[in-house]
């Protein structure tokens, strides 16, 4: 098995090294993920890089099929689409998505550990990027990765997605209209 291509996305284009930072999630013991102890550098793999093709603070809900996705869920939520992922955002973020430039840093995989939920990688060491690429058109980048972008007034109607058999990721939901963690 060859090493995965790992990426970190930023609105800054001049990062020379990524230094591990404290984790901003509930207590690792509460979420059953002891690997979250200590500062980390985060990366995503090539297959799931579209999860970070957004302005940093943009709230979004993304879903993709897994081997556990049922035919019923596929029929209800996916339909006949041939996309790799569906990304939901709020209308008020669409112009920012259109205008935002991001920088995709490719990171060396040798110090990263795979997180079992299937798409994130972490390193406890400082990491120097292998290369950086400027991305000026995020909407085109999504299209190239076969991501369907759905724009909604707010994301609240999607709370029930977490009860489906899809992989569902909510990122920066604290910035979503009316979203409150219960």
In the prediction, which pLDDT does 70 show?
Answer: 96
71 located within any domain: yes
Residue ranges of the chain with per-residue pLDDT less than 50 = 27-31
In the prediction, which pLDDT does 35 show?
Answer: 57
1 located within any domain: no
30 located within any domain: no
Find the domain containing 108 and state its range.
Answer: 6-16+40-175
57 located within any domain: yes
In the prediction, which pLDDT does 38 show?
Answer: 78
- Please, what sign has the CA dihedral across residues 86, 87, 92, 97? negative
In the prediction, which pLDDT does 30 show?
Answer: 46
74 located within any domain: yes
Q: How many domains does the chain have?
A: 1
In the prediction, which pLDDT does 34 show?
Answer: 59
28 located within any domain: no
Q: Residue 150's CB: how many other CB atoms inside 10 A?
A: 10
The predicted model scores a pTM of 0.88
In the prediction, which pLDDT does 28 show?
Answer: 42
Q: Say whether 29 sits in a helix, a strand or coil.
A: helix
27 located within any domain: no
């Amino acid at each position: 098995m060859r090493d995965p291509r790992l990426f970190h996305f930023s609105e800054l284009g001049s990062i020379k090294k990524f230094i591990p930072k404290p984790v901003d999630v509930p207590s690792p013991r509460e979420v059953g993920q002891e690997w979250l102890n200590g500062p980390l550098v985060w990366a995503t793999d090539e297959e799931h890089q579209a999860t970070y093709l957004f302005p940093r603070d943009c709230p979004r809900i993304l879903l993709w099929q897994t081997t556990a996705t049922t035919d019923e869920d596929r029929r209800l939520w996916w339909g006949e689409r041939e996309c790799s992922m569906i990304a939901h955002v709020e209308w008020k973020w669409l112009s920012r998505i259109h205008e935002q430039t991001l920088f995709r840093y490719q990171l060396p995989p040798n110090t990263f550990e795979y997180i079992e939920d299937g798409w994130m990688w972490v390193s406890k060491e400082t990491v120097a990027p292998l290369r950086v690429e400027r991305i000026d058109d995020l909407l085109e980048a999504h299209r190239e990765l076969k991501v369907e972008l759905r724009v909604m007034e707010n994301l609240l109607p999607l709370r029930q997605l977490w009860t489906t058999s899809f992989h569902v990721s909510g990122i920066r939901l604290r910035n979503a209209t009316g979203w409150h963690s219960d």
